[in-house]
Amino acid sequence: MWWIEHSLEDIKLNNLYRIRLLKEGLLDFCSNDYLALKDHPEVIEESVKVLRNYGLGSGASALVSGYTKHHKELEDKLSEFKSTPCCVLFGSGYLANLGTIPILVGEGDLLLSDELNHASIIDACRLSKAKVLVYKHRNYQHLEELLSSYRKDYRRCLIVTDTVFSMDGDIADIRTLKRYAEEFDCMLYIDEAHATGV
């Protein structure tokens, strides 16, 4: 298996080798920890207090018996923060998209997705079994053309977008999307994973 070593050397020579552990003194620009909270002393201290008082983990999924008063308190605080009557917690953004989009639309429905939406949205769109049309990134004229051509042929329609696009930081024009959703009788699904609190 000499070829593996040889390939790795070529990768290193072309500056394409990726280290798995961050070297001391380097800045990490590929993390999701935008606010550098994972190593913040106050966050760590509060986390230790919570562990001492409540233990580690719920012992079961929320569906079975793992839903606690703390989950309810968090849902209430998030609902207040987002000015919504209620909310549902998921284990990750990926699970939120996979667990929500296929409930809103399915076979016989239309789904319009921005071409730079997060991979979790793309997976959820596929899982939904709806007809998926992809509009050019933040090109709302293209979206309008697709809606004008296809909306009438489908029972339900869902427009899906990230608010802040994770790869380049572009921001969706939510007002325009809302206007099209109302005009064409569509639901509007907005993924705020990279926008909330930023």
- For residue 97, with 0-12 CB atoms within 10 Å meaning exposed, 13-18 middle and 19 or more buried, which class applies? buried
pLDDT digits 0-9 by tens, 32-75: 777 778 889 999 999 999 899 888 877 888 878 888 888 999 99
Q: Return the closest-CA partner of residue 110 out of 141, 154, 161.
A: 154
Q: Which CATH number fits domain 93-191: 1.10.10.10, 3.55.40.20, 3.40.50.300, 3.40.640.10?
A: 3.40.640.10
- For residue 120, with 0-12 CB atoms within 10 Å meaning exposed, 13-18 middle and 19 or more buried, which class applies? buried
Question: What is the structure's pLDDT at 179?
Answer: 98
Domain range summary for the chain, segments of one domain joined by + = 93-191
Question: What is the structure's pLDDT at 175?
Answer: 98
Please state, for a pLDDT cut of 90, what percent of the chain lies above it. 64
pLDDT for 19 beyond 90? no
Range ranked top by mean pLDDT from 7-11, 49-53, 78-82: 78-82
Q: Is 120 helix (H, G, I), strand (E, B) or coil?
A: helix
Q: What is the mean pLDDT of residues 69-86?
A: 93
Cβ neighbours, 10 Å, residue 72: 11
Cβ neighbours, 10 Å, residue 45: 9
Q: What is the mean pLDDT of residues 16-37?
A: 74
pLDDT digits 0-9 by tens, 135-187: 999 999 999 999 999 999 999 999 999 999 988 889 999 999 999 999 999 99
